Structure 1
């Protein structure tokens, strides 16, 4: 009995020792697990920090690249705009030069036509003068002379009508103030009946082609009468007769 009791006590002590050992082992194991878990958490946090830093660096590099590309595109756009402005200005200048050339050519053509027309018509004015002299100086005395007079006056009228269609018109300077652009003073008459410089009489008819002078009108101009001018009156009458001849 004593041996069995001792054996039981030994077994109980052994059980207590095993329980104590098992408890300490469990505590150590739990400590290691907790330590390992804490380490894993620290590693995960470190990896997250490194990942965030890497993404920030990538974003920074991307923004820098995009900014550089935008600056390059803006520079190219500005260069293209300058080229466009240059080409557009050249185009406008060429158009303006061509338009000026066209207008100048038209003006030169018109001036040449007027010049040729004036030269041609001027040669016919002497014919008109002769018809007018004949009409004023010839008085038919019989039917035959009247028939001849009427026939060449018909030719004269046809010539005058043709000149009118070309734009030729006679000047009517009587009563106007003398203008050297249109009139040529052949005589002066000293009188107080007209203001000084007034055209009293047209001695030879002048003609216009539009705004162009074909022939200046030869006129007699009024001058203020003085005591000296009375002595010159006789000479002026003589000059008038010479001009009319």
Structure 2
């Protein structure tokens, strides 16, 4: 029960890694609030997590999380833990990248994530923890992945700067960077037709030294560790949870 009576907000908590983390936070006593873009999956997730509250928000639209933050302020007066997990992906070779594709991904994965943290900060104070979902794509040069990779690399830089600026306020900021993970995003990645998804999944699996993809729960566990008091002397790190992709 590491999070008993803690107020936790999971941005992008309605599926995949975010949903697994929201469930795990709740199981350890947290008051869970979550956001997502799709009302149907928000409703499904909230129904599966006793006491959780869900709010529709698009992280690309600045200020769309205001309703969730107001509910947290009214109910608890503070936000103890922020998990910024929202993200989208697309594949395109360098010669085919369009400004529209670039802006769509960066508005969510970099711009949106940064300003979501900024918007939540007035509710956070001493002992607070922020965890951000990165990606091993930020350090892996994968052909066709330039849009996503640069957004996540920028987000890593933002996380380090946030950690440096907020350490004096007693707020820790860390990042968890998954490797290939079996989440719904693989089925809706831009530039990948549905019939190519099985082949992409096989390529991703073979790139992992463990020869399998991770599960959302395997990513959520390190998220909870970094958000907990067990990680009280850790800030500014990027923890690869990738089956050995980067390390081996």
Q: Structure 1 length as normaliser, TM-score?
A: 0.22
Q: Larger RCO: Structure 1 or Structure 2 (Cα < 8 Å, ≥ 6 residues apart)?
A: 2
Bigger helix fraction: 1
Query: TM-score scaled by structure 2?
Result: 0.21
Q: Max radius of gyration: which structure?
A: 1
